[in-house]
Structure 1
Amino acid sequence: MELQCVSTTIFVFLLLPIAVTSSAETSDNNGCCGGVPGVPGSPGSPGSLGSPGRDGRDGRDGTKGEKGDRGEAGARGLKGGSGKIGPQGPNGAMGIQGSKGDLGGKGDKGEATQQLNWKQCVWKRDDGKDAGLIQECRFKKEHGHTALYVAYAGSLRIIGSHRCSRWHFTFNDRECTGPMTIDAVDFTSRSNDIHRHRQVEGYCENIPAGDVRVGFHIGKCVGYTLADGYTGWNSVSRIIIAEMSPAQQ
C-alpha cells in the first residue's frame, strides 16, 4: 500500500483597514456602485492518485569503457591423462648424407680361434680276420666337453649263406655310450665274394681329455653265425679322428 502525503495550505488572512470612499469616488468606477471583494475560499481536497504511466523507451548503448588491467595468473591445472596413440605418419624424406667420421682407434687384439684338432691313420693291407681288432689309432683329446668324430673308409666283404658280420669302433677298448655305439653290419644270403667300398662314421661324447686309443674291429652280429669277413682288400683303408665342439657338430 502506498502512503499519500496531503499538503495543507494554510492561508493567513490579514485584516487590512478598508478605506471608505465617498460617493463621488464610487461613482467614478464605471458609474456603478461596487461591492467589497469577498474573502478567498478554502482550498479543495487533493484529487485521487492517477494510474501509473507507460514504461519509458530504452536508452541508447553507452560508450565502450577503457580496457581494464590484466588479471592475476590462475593456478596451474592438473596434468591430463595420456592420449591415444595416433596413426603412423608418412615416411620422411631421405636426409642428406653426413660427412665422413674420424678414423677410430686401433682395437684390442682378438683371441685366436680354436684350431681343429684332428688326425688321420692310413694303411694298405688285406686283412682276412673274421673277428677282432683290425686297426688302432692313438689320438690326443684336448678338452673334456668336446666330442670325437670318427670315420672308417675302405673296402669290406663277407662270404656265407645267411651270415652277418659287424664292424664297430672302440674308445680305450670300450664301445661308445654317448649317445650310442658307432657300427655297421653286412648280411648275405649267398656265398658271393664281392668286395665293396664302405664307410662307417659317427660322433662319440663323454670322452675325457687325454690320450684316446681309437680301435676299429670286426665281429659277429647278434643272433647270426659269424661270416667269413675281409677288410681292406686291394685298397687303402683310413681312419679319420677329429675333436669337435658342439657348435662344429
Structure 2
Amino acid sequence: MFASSTLQCLFAALILFLNGVESNNPKSDQVSVGGCSGVPGIPGTPGHNGLPGRDGLKGGDGMKGAKGDRGDKGATGKTGPKGSLGQRGSMGPIGIKGEKGIKGNVGGPGPQGENGTANSINWKQCVWKRSDEKDTGLIQECVFNKRHSSTALKVAYAASMRVYCPDSSCCGRWYITFNGAECSGPMTIEGIVYMANSKDNPHRHRQIEGFCENIPSGSISVAVHVGNCQSSGSSDRHSGSTSVSRIMIEEYPHSQT
C-alpha cells in the first residue's frame, strides 16, 4: 500500500510539472501535491579547494617590558667534608747524575772583622809603690807574654812625675821600651814634664800611653825609663813619690795605630 501511494505522488507531481512548462507559469513549480513528500536529490560533486591566501604584513615590535625586581640571594651552601688523605705514591727512580759544574773564581778577601770580645784580650799590669829619685835610667820592668806576632800592644804608665829647677828651666822625659828598644811602629811611646825657672816642687800624678806594632810573639820585656829631653841637659827628677805606680799592658787581636 505504501508503494502504491508513493507511485501516485510521483505521478501527480510529474503532471503538474508538465503543465507548468506548457503554460509558462513561473509559479507552477510552487504547486504542492498534497500528501506527497519530495524525493531527496542526488548529492552534488564536492568543489575543489581554494588557492592559499597571501601572507599578512609583519606586525611591529611590541614595547619593551619593565625590568623585573632582582631576586633574593640564595643561601650559601655548606662546605663539604675534607677528603681523606690519599695514599703516598711510590718512590720514583733515581735520576741520572748531572755533569760536574764549572769551577768558580776565587773570591776576594773579606772585610776586616771586629775586635774580639773582652775574654779574648790578653792583658797584664805591674803595680808598685815606692819613691824613685833617679834622674836617668830604668824605673820599672814588666814581663809580658805576647801570643801573636800580628797583634799590637797597648802600654800605659801611670805615676807621679816631677822635675825641679829653682835656678833655670828644666825638662824630664819618661818613655817605654820593648826588649830594650823604643817602639818604631809607628812611633815612640813617651811623655815629658817641663818646668820654667821656679822654686815650686809639684809632685803630680800623670799618665803616658800608646800602641806599638811589629812586635814578635813570645816573652816581651816592657820597661819604663826616665831621661833627658831633646836639646836639654840633666835635671832633678822624681818618679813615684808616695803614690801607686803601674804599667798596664794589653794585646789587641788586630793591629792599631
Letter in structure 1 aligned against 2:129? K
1:195 match:
203
State, as a whole percentage, how many aligned pairs show the same letter: 52
1:115 deviates by: 1.4
2:212 match:
204
Counterpart-to-counterpart distance in 1, 2:138 and 2:256:
30
1:246 deviates by: 2.4
Q: Does 1:179 align with 2:186?
A: yes
1:230 match:
238
Letter in structure 2 aligned against 1:156? M
1:171 deviates by: 0.1
What TM-score do the two structures reach when normalised by structure 1? 0.53
1:132 match:
137
What are the residue-to-residue correspondences of 1:64-213 with 2, within 5 Å?
A: 115-160=120-165, 161-189=168-196, 190-213=198-221
1:191 deviates by: 3.2
1:153 deviates by: 1.0
Letter in structure 2 aligned against 1:209? S
- SS of 1:121's partner is strand
Letter in structure 1 aligned against 2:219? D
- SS of 2:120's partner is coil
1:76 match:
none
The unaligned stretches of length 5 or more in structure 1 are: 1-111
Counterpart-to-counterpart distance in 2, 1:162 and 1:145:
43
The unaligned stretches of length 5 or more in structure 2 are: 1-115
1:245 deviates by: 2.1
Say which of 247, 250, 254 aligns to 1:246.
Answer: 254
- SS of 2:188's partner is coil
Counterpart-to-counterpart distance in 1, 2:140 and 2:162:
17
| Deviations 1:192-218 (CA, angstroms, capped at 9, x unpaired) | 211001001000000000000000000
Counterpart-to-counterpart distance in 2, 1:166 and 1:248:
25
Letter in structure 1 aligned against 2:192? V
Letter in structure 2 aligned against 1:155? S
Letter in structure 1 aligned against 2:252? M
State the aligned residue count.
138
- SS of 2:202's partner is coil
- SS of 1:226's partner is coil
Letter in structure 2 aligned against 1:128? E
Rate the CA distance shift 1:203–1:248 in 2: closer, same or farther, 3 A. Answer: closer
Counterpart-to-counterpart distance in 2, 1:191 and 1:181:
31
Letter in structure 1 aligned against 2:248? I
Letter in structure 2 aligned against 1:246? H
Rate the CA distance shift 1:236–1:222 in 2: closer, same or farther, 3 A. Answer: same
- SS of 2:145's partner is strand
1:247 deviates by: 7.4
Contact 2:163–2:235 (Cα < 8 Å) also in 1: yes
1:218 match:
226
